[in-house]
A and B are shown apart, each in its own frame.
Chain A
Amino acid sequence: MKAFTYERATTPAEAASAAAHANGTKFIAGGTNLLDLMKLQIETPTHLIDINDLGLDRIEPITGGGLRIGALVRNTDLAANEHVRRDYAVLSRALLAGASGQLRNQATTAGNLLQRTRCPYFYDTNQPCNKREPGSGCGALGGYSRHHAIVGVSDACIATHPSDMAVAMRILDATVETVQPNGLTRTIPIVELHRLPGNTPHIEHTLVPGELITAVTLPKPVGGTQIYRKVRDRASYAFALVSVAAIIQRDGTGRVALGGVAHKPWRVEAAERKMPRGAKAVTKELLSSARTTHDNAFKVQLVERTLASVLNEALNETKV
């Protein structure tokens, strides 16, 4: 870990402004991903701004429907929130499927969105990785890639986004609120927050330097049967091989998003129109651009099978 200076900010605007003033600045909140990467010198900030005192830790209903989630709300608290449990069950389920009890107590909403890939080539500074060291090549392509992305990939990167929470937020059409170093605030639809790797896999999101996420808002509840199914080798405390978030209405229409298959939460609205026709049709559309490796080709079939199971579960719940 490289040496850094440390300060605690007290307001979001102050934090964003301070971040813009010093090069190599990072915000730290939960620290569960950043500190891990700093120890390996994959992240090398020279200045850390501790934002835990910003008071962004509330979950408030929005007048007229919807929920505003402070950026610093811990994953445990978000999952346990009564509004979320009742109206956005897919979000609770996704959060609870992620990490461990300890890490969910530490990790924050904004940090979870901005966590970096768990690709083992990204994590090993001896290996090539275009995300860590642009131009060095992609170690996973031609290497070990069982966990890697199958859609939205490029020749430069086949890493996945590891978040479960983000997949649920994507299906819920969440919006990200930020404050920029110049003090201006803006809102970003979650679909626009994360980028596909393309030729610049090191640029993972659309925030400007120093821009700070202050909240995530959820629109009015959409009802339906909400399911988050995470498929993994061990029963808990593992990243998804694939995950399926689904909201299914009584008439068989609904939404679906995938985790573990792409550089961002993967949702194809056109595919959702096929929902009444079943998993095969939806998967075909969702993964129409799939480009797999020898190691991860199974994910295509796994998505279809998992989705079929999820649709079946929803059907059974509707019957009850």
Chain B
Amino acid sequence: MKFDTPATSNPIDQLKVVGQPVSRIDGPLKTTGTAPYAYDRYDVVPNQAYGYVLGSAIAKGRIVSMNLAAAKASPGVITIVTAENAGKLAKGNLNTALLLGGPEIQHYHQAVAVVVAETFEQARAAAHLIHVNYARAKGLFDLTSEKPKGTPKDVFGAAGETSVGNFDKAFSAAPVRLDKTYSTAHESHSMLEPHATVAAWDGDQLTLWTSNQMIDWGVSDMALTLSIPKEKIRLISSYIGGGFGAKLFLRTDALMAALAARAARRPVKVALQRALVPNNTVHRSATIQRIKIGAARDGQITAIGHESWSGNLPGGGAEAGAVQTRALYAGANRMTSNRVATLDLPEANAMRAPNEAPGLAALEIAIDEMAEKLGMDPIEFRIKNDTQVVPDSPPKPASNDPQSEKPQDQEKHNPHPPFSIRQLTQCFQVGAERFGWNKRNTKPGLVRDGRWLVGMGVASAFRDNIVAKSAARVKLDKRGHVTVETDMTDIGTGSYTIIAQTAAEMMGVPLEKVTVRLGDSSFPVSAGSGGQWGGNSSTSGVYAACVKLREAVAQEAKTQLAKTQQADFNINDAIFADGQIRSGSHSISLGELAGSKGLVAEDTIEFGDLDKRYHQSTFGAHFVEVGVDAATGETRVRRMLAVCAAGRILNPKTARSQVIGAMTMGVGAALMESLEVDKRFGYFVNHDLAGYEVPVHADIPHQEVIFLDETDPISSPMKAKGVGELGICGAAAAVANAIYNATGVRVRDYPITLDKLIAKMPTRV
């Protein structure tokens, strides 16, 4: 199905199942420990051996020699795979660093060996017996010092640097100006399930039970890396213990398991030990961002400039902090710049809301500062600079595939496309009312509750809606039961449930009569889970397949009725409800029509150029109240509210969970999360969950989410949009602004830990 004109009314609009806050259909499995994650798959293939990955002890340099003798002689050891005996390996398209290092080492904890043994205990002990002799090379590890060497980097195929009007002139002419520099920290995804894979070879056929957000990307890059045909690889990720971007691509666990199983001639399971996760896998790069805003005294922005620098290994992408500044606020003169500097730290890559999360963390403090300079309420200032068209829209790639890098035809490009729908102002209005924004003391540092200085902050949430091609297969059996198969993944997002809701709505059956099978490369290729494109795109793919299945069902009904001379059955006005298809006075059960052979339909939703003609985005407003201990500077979040406008909400219960989860990660970024670099040795020092602090229960208050009633027919037949990342966008800044309101201390360097506050807070407590 080609989606190239805005959706009109369709069966989803019934909202009998879609749009309802139903509980997750995978809930009984997940809450009883019976949902099988990759490392739980003892049952899929017998005789599994254990692989244990050894990470490089240096950040950059070479392996001079490796002594494996003691490890090989260690009890239970079956084999050891290193770059020396692994066979020829290519690099995948989507990972920057090689997944097996040696002799060249590109980053700390890059895998240099996998030890395979009969038991986990034996493999782990043997790995410690490998002696590696390294020659350390000088590396670049400090973003601040490497920043001047940063070069512009494209973002999803669009230009890294843009300019509209004359920024410099307008900025210097503006009566009110802000020019500040902000920084965000290196962050770790730290999903609870470390990367894990069970690999088994059957002849030249490789099967991987793994934890991967993007099944087809995983298969493609494994094929490329091993130089074997894609068809020889099956990849299964039924349940994924969190990813947040860290499992978008082929990673060490899967490759090492595959290599180990090949060498051991038996299935091998590998899970990365927690201490390897931050340095072996991927992280979000730190950013340094300079923001300049010029405005008229009435608050109208006349110039807005945003420059962002991040770091990565050679060839790696940028954490493009300036992208959202092209579209969020009005202003005739503008410039953005996203640059990346070479760093020999581990590979930086996408983490929940790449670009926008750190970008808004900076921009939305700047907006708060600017509002204060103007003497305006920060909500009023944002509303004043609302825009219904995109002020700066560089050409984007023609394809829906975010990895595509070919810019579209310049002639057709509209530099100021309208938003499909934009209710940012409404988000703020609804939120201000709900949160009691009018109770905020505009003068900072004055509200006290016992030990606590109390403050409120707001920020805009903004994240583009990406649509991506997605296929599904839908089967109907003689019991009238519907089974959906697609390689879409559920990383906690609720994919199982919203896909079941979509199929139930389309086929007119109750939710209990739908089975959803996901995360298997033998199923049709879906959009996968990333960039908040998965929910909307994959359900649209299921919608398309269901449209085809409805046609097949109707055709079958017509055929069967024709046999009994009831030829007046009209396919086009058929209704699917209560497990039946109805037309006029006729109704037949779906099971009966499916018969013993069943009916199957498969289709793909493909998106035309609606996402070029209209800018599709999701919007929100974050409201946060914090308390800051007047003595110690410890910040504790007291209240949080997010108001979101993100198209049709397919399931308010799971969508809300997406938003609160993202808000929680935003609190982490604001207050505590930081991978700390040892600039001498070039690695993230705090590489476990005690050293890299993420929010715990005690950090998070009750969180409230309001979804504005919205449908976006430009986006998809579901009229939905992504919502999985919107909640993190701006959340950190709302916390930061609340801290400023509480204390009067403006911190522009995340995370806002107490040491950055107490130096400037009054000593009298």
Contact = CB atoms under 8 A, between A and B. Distances in A.
Contacts of A306: 631-632
Contact of A1 (B121, B634, B677): B121
Nearest to A142: B680
Contact of A120 (B686, B695, B754, B755): B686
A235 B696 contact: yes
- Chain B interface residue bracket vs A: 35 or more
A239 B671 CA distance: 16
Contacts of A270: none
Contacts of B751: 233
Interface string B732-765: 0000000000000000000101110011000101
A232 interface: yes
Nearest to B761: A305
A238 interface: yes
Contact of B691 (A120, A298, A305): A120
A196 B280 CA distance: 35
Contacts of A41: 128
A250 B671 CA distance: 37
B693 interface: yes
A43 B75 CA distance: 20
A237 B125 contact: no
A2 B126 CA distance: 9
A239 B680 CA distance: 25
B636 A235 contact: yes
Given A2-B125, A120-B686, A143-B680, A305 B57 contact: no
B451 interface: yes
Interface in A102-147: 118, 120-121, 123-124, 126-127, 139, 142-144, 146
Which of A229, A235, A241 has most chain B Cβ within 10 Å? A235
Contacts of B512: none
Interface in A183-225: none
Contact of A143 (B451, B671, B678, B688): B678
Given A1-B125, A144-B678, A305-B758, A233 B753 contact: yes
Given A1-B121, A39-B124, A118-B690, A236 B696 contact: yes
Contact of A302 (B75, B124, B630, B754): B754
B755 A234 contact: no
A126 B681 CA distance: 10
- Most chain A CB within 10 A, of B451, B634, B753, is at B634
Q: Which applies to chain A's interface (DSSP): helix, strand, loop or mixed?
A: loop
A253 to B, nearest CB: 21
A233 B672 contact: yes
Interface in A1-58: 1-3, 39-41
A268 interface: no
Nearest to B672: A233
Contacts of A142: 680
A237 B698 CA distance: 9
A308 interface: yes
B699 interface: yes
Interface in A233-286: 233-239, 241
A318 interface: no
B702 interface: no
Nearest to B75: A3
A289 interface: no
B762 to A, nearest CB: 10
A288 interface: no
A305 B758 CA distance: 9
Contacts of A239: 690
Contacts, number: 105
A305 B763 contact: yes
B264 interface: no
B104 interface: no
Nearest to A304: B763
Contact of B693 (A143, A231, A238, A312): A238
B763 A121 contact: no
B685 interface: yes
B687 interface: yes
Contacts of A3: 75, 125
B697 interface: yes
B676 interface: yes
Contacts of B671: 233-234
Given A298-B755, A301-B758, A309-B451, A231 B685 contact: no
A301 B759 CA distance: 8
Interface string B662-702: 00000000011000111011000111101101111111000
Nearest to A140: B685
Interface in B547-580: none
Contact of A144 (B676, B690, B759): B676
B631 A233 contact: no
Contact of A124 (B121, B687, B693): B687
Nearest to A306: B632
Interface in B608-649: 629-634, 636
A16 B726 CA distance: 60
A69 B759 CA distance: 41
Interface string B44-67: 000000000000011000000000
Nearest to B763: A305
A234 B631 contact: no
A238 B753 CA distance: 14
Nearest to B752: A233
A308 B698 contact: no
A118 B524 CA distance: 48
Contacts of A123: 275, 688, 691
Contacts of B672: 233-234
Contacts of B697: 236
B698 A302 contact: no
Contacts of B58: 126
A250 to B, nearest CB: 22
Contact of B695 (A1, A39, A124, A234): A234
Interface in B420-456: 451
Interface in B685-731: 685-688, 690-691, 693-699
A3 B122 CA distance: 9
A242 to B, nearest CB: 9
20 contacts: A2-B128, A41-B128, A120-B687, A121-B685, A124-B687, A143-B678, A144-B685, A146-B755, A233-B754, A234-B672, A234-B695, A234-B698, A235-B634, A236-B696, A236-B699, A238-B693, A239-B690, A305-B765, A306-B632, A309-B631
Given A239-B690, A298-B759, A301-B758, 13 more contacts: A1-B121, A120-B686, A124-B275, A124-B685, A144-B686, A229-B632, A233-B693, A233-B751, A233-B754, A235-B634, A237-B696, A305-B631, A308-B763
